[in-house]
Structure 1
Amino acid sequence: MHLSSLALSITRCAAAGTLALALAWAPMTTLSTPAQAATTAATQVTPKGPTFNETAKSVYIPSDQGVRYYITVDGANITKEGLPYAKPGTYTEADGLKAGVPITVTAKSAGSSTVLVGTTHWETTFRKAPSYDLSRGDDFNDPSELPSDQWNVYTTRASSLGANGNTIYTANNVSVKDGNLEIRTERHCLSGSQEPSAETVSPGGAVCPSGTRTAYTSGRINTSFIYNAPFRMDVRARMSDDVVDGLHFAAWLRNDQPYCTQAGVEKSTLAELDTMEVFSQHSYTTNTSHITCTKQPNGGAGTKRDAHRMDTQIAGAWHEFSMTWDGYAIRYFLDGQPVPSSWGQTPETTAATLGMSDEEFQSALNDRPYQAIIDSLAFAQDTTWINPPKADQPFPARVDKVDYIHMTPLENIHPVGAIDGKWKQNSWLGAPTAPETDAGPVGARVQTFEHGAVYWSAATGAHTVKGAIQGAYDSRGGASGALGLPTTDENQLKGGASQSFQGGQIHWSPSTGAHVDRGAIQAYWAQRGWEKGWLGYPTGDEITGLASGGASQTFQGGTLFWDARTGAVHEVHGGVLGTYGRHGYESGRLGYPTTDEIRLRGGVSQVFNNGEIHWSPSTGAHATYGAIQDYWQRNGWQDGWLGYPTGEETPTSDGGVRQSFQHGEVTWYRDRPLKAVRR
């Protein structure tokens, strides 16, 4: 007989209390309900579930026996290695995750032997950061709660803190709200290897209980190395209210070179510019420039630096912090006012103030790109130069705010070439105030400084212009005007100074000011001894556009007139000049002078186009013309019986013209003979 199955049953007889054993042969059969079969054959499993990381924009899928996870984004199944499900591991945007859209994770049984209980569906939406360019800074006006994705949000872990470290940077402490970047600093009480989370926040900033570690979360963001010097940085910011020890808030720039505190770095062309650096417990702003470094035996920063400080309210107050690096000097400003040096130096930081060569200073600041950094922190407990936060006192959460950070490229104003050489030879010029630019003639260049300017061309070389002469030069069009470029530096003269230009000269004295002289008038003046002659210094510029295209110029000792028709220049002064003026100068009846003053016995005379002027001490200066002058001439001029004229021609009642002399009168009539009368 073939045995196909054996069934054994044991039955307890309740009434008799005996056991009955029955052995029977029968075909194998499972006698159970569907529910009983599922319960006895399947294992119940509670899925571990995914871990969503908002900061990293990632999803972690755990290794979970009997469970398959499925990630769905925008209807697409996110997998790796071609699997139909999400294998254990971390999934990021590189794998297809997206910010700003729902991400769902569903857990399913890996087979019929597993029954899932508990939560099997999870969903989250990562916040999507706006994307915009930071090359000119950031106004933080995007409606998103996140800064631009061009900012890197720096993060650290509690496990990386040293024994005395205090600050852990997290993305959750950085946000944008109401047009401001906000950095939140708050206290956490950590146990063991705990990382900060919502559960570890100290309620109201209370003192942490015994057995926990006091730590602080805060925020830090930085751009990539996208800024090239020279530049200006402006930051409007507000440190949180109330004064608390150990809190630091900063906005600063650094180039891409390492610090000498790093292992293996002995020297570096590091440059760090602290545009805003404030401390809650200090009522002043501080600004420091760190330019290059050398490793120190004590582990110090080893940077060449100087410091600047200005007293002001810090906690709870809005301020604009500014820094300019223009290629010559670093300058710091608070609300538009220069921040003075803390070490008694000039307000600006230069190669000289740091004791560096100009070349080393320029190279460190200009040769490498910069990044901008904004951060808040609580100082480590072993900080000695400033009080760290007091762990035994409450620490309510604090929010530091930044309204904007603006980056503005600047032109490099550091002198170069021949202008640089001239500048270094003339320290009195002071700091450059603008970059080198074109000047007048093609190829010419000019650069301005605190106390003057330097002009250069291949034809004239490099020359300085300063003071009153520079003012006169600039007011007359500078290199683009009639004077052209300077051909000498300023020359010191007795009682004044002069400078030569392509189109003339400028002479200056304290009493006369600075005036231009040129051309025929200048040549006449030069022949008579320049400023050392009896004409002295010019008291006015040349006046052009006079009658028949002529010109004139006043000097201390008289006035020079130039007749364009003849090219002749003659001087008029004293009493003769006064009478000449009353007769209308060159525009009057006399016209231009044709001689200089002529000395006579007992007086002087001067000849003009249409008459003469005679002067003596007793008679003064008077003009003579035409027929009356002809009669006087025939009768010996001033040496004749008439003597010097004592008055001007005047009309008579009978239609004549009369002029008086020392010893008589001469009357001219149009229709009758001239009449002379002795006195």
Structure 2
Amino acid sequence: MATPAQGAGAVMFADGFDGTTLNTAAWQVIGPQQAPNFGTKSQAWLLPENVRVEGGLLRIAARRHCTSGTPTMANVSSSPCNNLANTKYSTGRVHSRFSTPWGSAFEMRVSARIPAGIQPGTRAAIWTKNNQPYCESVNAKTSMGEFDLIEAYGTRPTLGDSTTHMSCSGVGGNPWARESSQHKVSFSPGSFYEWIVQREGNWVSYFISPGGGAYTHIGSHVCGQGEFAFSQARCDEIMNDPFTLMLQQEVFAQNATGTDVTPGPKATSHFGVQYLDVDWVQISYLR
């Protein structure tokens, strides 16, 4: 697993984002609505206006708004608002309508650039999740699987995470707790990279390729070993379930916690519109 498997099989799904509109038969734009975990982890409003196709790119924006009501494109502001109560944020989020076939060995490749001016308190993310739910109560357990190709935080914009989540365990009084393991990856915001995840059997592996150049192995995880010491039957449930690709930005809530998450953007600082730009997506059978 030190290099990406060569000679990947037939393409299952691909989009080069040509033209002027998003193919809504292939992608679901989430919103308008408040983001999941709004008020605790997130303070983002998900607005379809933050998702657009132009110049051969899918562009997903994060913006500040000055309003006492719902954010709209009419109240966008890079400058600080007159008070914290009137300071709102919006982002975009899209899900592929395509999911990998059950049990398939697959590869997902996404050519994208993290915003050059990614703001503290925000995150750009390219990730895939199976169809199993997160935990809904403490001490619950599900066979949720999630592979984060890249999560880039504004607090450390040149060092991202490629993370594997297997199982939602609901431990420690937190129904959203997940068994997870991650690897750090260095990159340059504002430059295009291919972000790659491969899943085969119990293995999931991550790779990066700057501008389509040489590949670097970020790391691998194995269901049944280490943090993921589950039975083979449980691993089959997690790994074989269909996976769907997600592309998004996030703005964290003021009371967000975690070692890699700042408590939201500073309302008194400049907050320019930032774009996660996606050039193309390809999902293939691995063999």
Matching residue's letter, 2:198: T
Matching residue's letter, 1:352: Q
1:149-164 equivalences under 5 Å are: 149-157=25-33, 161-162=38-39
Give the equivalent residue in structure 2 for 1:217.
Answer: 90
Q: Is the 8 A contact 1:158 1:195 kept in 2?
A: no
1:135-150 equivalences under 5 Å are: 135-141=12-18, 143-150=19-26
What's the CA shift string for 1:605-659, capped at 9, x where partnerless? xxxxxxxxxxxxxxxxxxxxxxxxxxxxxxxxxxxxxxxxxxxxxxxxxxxxxxx
In the TM superposition, residue 316 of structure 1 has moved relative to its aligned partner by 1.5
Q: Distance in 2 between matches of 1:156 and 1:240?
A: 23
* Unmatched 5+ stretches in structure 2: 1-10, 210-214
Q: Is the 8 A contact 1:185 1:397 kept in 2?
A: yes
Q: Distance in 2 between matches of 1:265 and 1:316?
A: 41
Matching residue's letter, 2:191: A
Give the equivalent residue in structure 2 for 1:321.
Answer: 195
Change in CA separation of 1:298 and 1:322 when aligned onto 2, cut-off 3 Å = same
Q: Is the 8 A contact 1:157 1:195 kept in 2?
A: no
Indicate whether 1:390 and 2:269 are aligned: no
Matching residue's letter, 1:329: W
Give the equivalent residue in structure 2 for 1:97.
Answer: none
Indicate whether 1:338 and 2:237 are aligned: no
Matching residue's letter, 1:378: V
SS in 2 for 1:403: strand
In the TM superposition, residue 264 of structure 1 has moved relative to its aligned partner by 8.3
Matching residue's letter, 2:91: S
In the TM superposition, residue 156 of structure 1 has moved relative to its aligned partner by 3.8
Q: Distance in 1 between matches of 2:35 and 2:148?
A: 29
Give the equivalent residue in structure 2 for 1:166.
Answer: 43
In the TM superposition, residue 297 of structure 1 has moved relative to its aligned partner by 4.2
Name the structure with the higher strand share. Answer: 2
Q: Taking structure 2 as the reference length, what is the TM-score of the superposition?
A: 0.84
Q: Is the 8 A contact 1:227 1:370 kept in 2?
A: yes
Indicate whether 1:253 and 2:124 are aligned: no
Give the equivalent residue in structure 1 for 2:58.
Answer: 181
SS in 1 for 2:238: helix
Give the equivalent residue in structure 1 for 2:247.
Answer: 374
1:296 aligns with one of 160, 171, 176:
171
Rg (Cα) greater in structure: 1
Matching residue's letter, 2:203: A
Name the structure with the higher helix share. Answer: 1
In the TM superposition, residue 183 of structure 1 has moved relative to its aligned partner by 0.6
1:190 aligns with one of 53, 67, 85:
67
Q: Distance in 1 between matches of 2:266 and 2:245?
A: 30
1:271-286 equivalences under 5 Å are: 271-282=145-156, 283-286=158-161
Q: Is the 8 A contact 1:166 1:214 kept in 2?
A: no
Q: Distance in 2 between matches of 1:339 and 1:305?
A: 16
Indicate whether 1:401 and 2:277 are aligned: yes
Higher relative contact order (CA 8 A, sep 6+): 2
Give the equivalent residue in structure 1 for 2:113.
Answer: 238
Q: Is the 8 A contact 1:240 1:316 kept in 2?
A: yes
Give the equivalent residue in structure 2 for 1:361.
Answer: 235
SS in 1 for 2:82: coil
SS in 1 for 2:99: coil
Q: Is the 8 A contact 1:147 1:176 kept in 2?
A: no
Q: Is the 8 A contact 1:233 1:405 kept in 2?
A: yes
In the TM superposition, residue 349 of structure 1 has moved relative to its aligned partner by 3.1
* Cα RMSD, aligned residues only: 2.3
Q: Is the 8 A contact 1:258 1:265 kept in 2?
A: no
Q: Taking structure 1 as the reference length, what is the TM-score of the superposition?
A: 0.37
Q: Distance in 2 between matches of 1:359 and 1:164?
A: 33
SS in 2 for 1:406: strand
1:175-574 equivalences under 5 Å are: 175-191=52-68, 194-202=69-77, 205-210=78-83, 212-224=85-97, 226-228=99-101, 229-260=104-135, 262-263=136-137, 266-282=140-156, 283-313=158-188, 315-335=189-209, 336-340=215-219, 347-353=220-226, 354-366=228-240, 368-385=241-258, 386-387=261-262, 388-411=264-287
Matching residue's letter, 2:116: D
Q: Distance in 2 between matches of 1:211 and 1:371?
A: 36
In the TM superposition, residue 296 of structure 1 has moved relative to its aligned partner by 2.2
SS in 2 for 1:405: strand
